[in-house]
């Protein structure tokens, strides 16, 4: 966020002086709308992704080699979405400043002033790369995702890059940990009482009685799961409240297990841009006053619906090719 904000300010694009559309508004929407695809592409790029896998396991829907299957299942759709979204957005919501020939020279000068990477930066880079490798190869090497994350954090603590006080003074991490514990426990309790299974069986039988087949039900549930997010503030809350129920309905309707889990997981990344309260990052972007509320809702609907078509609609033939259904 600091990069585009500094770029906008450097080009006189301060929203307080009426320059919000010089380049800042476009950069915000471009970053936000394309992040739906990058978040859907990698299992570890969104907190709600890991929560989806955890909740699915509670229902007995376990995905083998989860990091790699998640990545491969969304790769072509994510690449397509990240290519076409900036092009469409540039046509529909263009910045006033379209050329910055002086930018490469200024960037080179700033990099020279910064000098080479510091010791802490090199250690951080190595720790992150190591954690990602362990996440990817975790199933093959018998390394749980939690252990991989803890090893990365331990490396930063032991080398002095981070102190324990730094960890204690980072509220978002503790907030995430607390809410994850509550949401997972709540979902497990509902599942243990049989409430979710019973509800899913009733709805699943009703849908099956319509003789639609599982494919139409699959797309209907995805559409409902996406647009109901207008009622939620944040992706994790949505996942904690409805992911298990929608997954159970898909399974009861005959949707193959891997297809149901991973496609719903992808879907949870797509609605984070539809409103200014749809996700944590959306709220932060909106608070910078570059994009007006009506613009946010209209662009969010258009590009959110586009992402649903690209990832779920165009993804279906790819998933058939992979043998998921």
CA 40 to chain centre: 5
SS in 3 state form for the chain? CHHHHHHHHHCCCCHHHCCCCCCHHHHHHHHHHHHHHHHHHCHHHCHHHHHHHHHHHHCCCCCCCHHHHHHHHHHHHHHHHHHHHHHHHHHHCCCCCCCCCCHHHHHHHHHHHHCCCCHHHHHHHHHHHHHHHHHHHHHHHCCCHHHHHHHHHHHHHHCCCCCHHHHHCCHHHHHHHHHHHHHHHHHHHHHHCCHHHHHHHHHHHHHHHCCCCHHHHHHHHHHHHHHHHHHCCCHHHHHHHHHHHHHHHHHHCCCCHHHHHHHHHHHHHHHHHCCCCCCHHHHHHHCCCCCCHHHHHHHHHHHHHHHHHHHHHCHHHHHHHHCCC
CA 24 to chain centre: 22
State what percent of residues in the chain have pLDDT above 90: 31
Structure tokens that stand for 242 in this block: 């409805």
Q: State the pLDDT at residue 181.
A: 63
Closest CA to 31 of 325, 316, 291, 314: 291
Q: State the pLDDT at residue 254.
A: 87
Give the residue with greater pLDDT, 196 vs 161: 161
In tens, the pLDDT along 228-284 reads 888 777 788 788 878 988 998 888 888 999 999 999 999 999 998 898 888 877 877
- When pLDDT is cut at 50, 70 and 90, the band that residue 9 belongs to is low
Give the residue with greater pLDDT, 300 vs 180: 300
Rounded to an integer, the average pLDDT of 26-31 is: 85
Q: State the pLDDT at residue 226.
A: 92
- Alpha carbons 298 and 293: distance in angstroms, whole number: 9
Give Cβ neighbours of residue 287 (< 8 Å, ≥ 6 apart). none
* Max mean pLDDT range (77-81, 170-174, 212-216): 77-81
Q: Which residues of 55-78 are buried (b: 16+ CB within 10 A; e: fewer)?
A: bbebbebebeebbbbbbebbebbb
A 10 A CB-CB count for 309 gives 13
- Alpha carbons 221 and 304: distance in angstroms, whole number: 16
Q: State the pLDDT at residue 325.
A: 83
- Alpha carbons 162 and 167: distance in angstroms, whole number: 8
Residue 29 has pLDDT above 90, yes or no: no
Check if the beta carbon of residue 315 is closer than 8 Å to that of residue 73.
Answer: yes
Q: Which residues of 122-139 are buried (b: 16+ CB within 10 A; e: fewer)?
A: ebbeebeeebeebbbebb
Find where tokens 């803890």 sit. Answer: 150
* Max mean pLDDT range (4-8, 29-33, 192-196): 29-33
Q: State the pLDDT at residue 311.
A: 95
Residue 180 has pLDDT above 60, yes or no: no
Q: State the pLDDT at residue 273.
A: 87
Rounded to an integer, the average pLDDT of 121-137 is: 86
Q: State the pLDDT at residue 185.
A: 67
Q: State the pLDDT at residue 16.
A: 65
- When pLDDT is cut at 50, 70 and 90, the band that residue 114 belongs to is confident
Average pLDDT, the chain: 83
Rounded to an integer, the average pLDDT of 113-119 is: 86
Give Cβ neighbours of residue 323 (< 8 Å, ≥ 6 apart). none
Q: State the pLDDT at residue 259.
A: 95
Q: State the pLDDT at residue 175.
A: 64
In tens, the pLDDT along 140-175 reads 777 777 788 889 889 999 999 888 888 888 776 676
- Alpha carbons 137 and 198: distance in angstroms, whole number: 37
Rounded to an integer, the average pLDDT of 302-313 is: 94
Closest CA to 226 of 215, 217, 235: 235
């Amino acid at each position: 966020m600091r990069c585009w904000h500094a770029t906008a300010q450097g080009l006189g694009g301060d929203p307080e002086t009426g320059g919000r559309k010089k380049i800042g508004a476009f950069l915000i929407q471009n970053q936000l709308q394309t992040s739906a695809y990058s978040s859907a592409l990698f299992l570890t790029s969104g907190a709600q992704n890991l929560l989806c896998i955890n909740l699915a396991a509670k229902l007995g829907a376990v995905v083998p080699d989860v990091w790699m299957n998640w990545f491969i299942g969304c790769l072509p759709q994510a690449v397509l979405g990240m290519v076409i979204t900036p092009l469409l957005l540039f046509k529909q919501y263009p910045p006033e400043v379209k050329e910055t020939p002086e930018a490469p020279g200024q960037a080179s000068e700033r990099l020279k002033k910064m000098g080479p990477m510091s010791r802490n930066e090199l250690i951080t880079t190595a720790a992150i790369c190591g954690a990602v490798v362990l996440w990817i190869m975790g199933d093959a090497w018998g390394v749980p995702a939690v252990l991989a994350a803890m090893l990365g954090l331990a490396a930063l603590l032991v080398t002095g890059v981070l102190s324990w006080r730094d960890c204690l003074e980072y509220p978002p991490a503790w907030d995430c940990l607390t809410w994850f514990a509550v949401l997972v426990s709540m979902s497990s309790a509902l599942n243990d009482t049989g409430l979710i299974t019973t509800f899913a069986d009733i709805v699943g039988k009703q849908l099956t009685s319509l003789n639609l087949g599982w494919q139409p039900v699959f797309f209907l549930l995805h559409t409902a799961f996406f647009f109901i997010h207008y009622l939620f503030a944040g992706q994790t809350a949505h996942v904690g409240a409805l992911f298990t129920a929608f997954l159970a309905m898909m399974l009861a309707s005959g949707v193959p297990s891997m297809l149901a889990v991973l496609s719903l997981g992808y879907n949870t990344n797509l609605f984070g841009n539809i409103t200014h309260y749809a996700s944590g990052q959306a709220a932060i972007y909106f608070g910078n006053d570059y994009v007006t509320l009506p613009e946010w809702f209209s662009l969010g609907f258009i590009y959110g619906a586009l992402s649903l078509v690209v990832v779920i609609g165009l993804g279906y033939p790819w998933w058939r090719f992979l043998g998921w259904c």
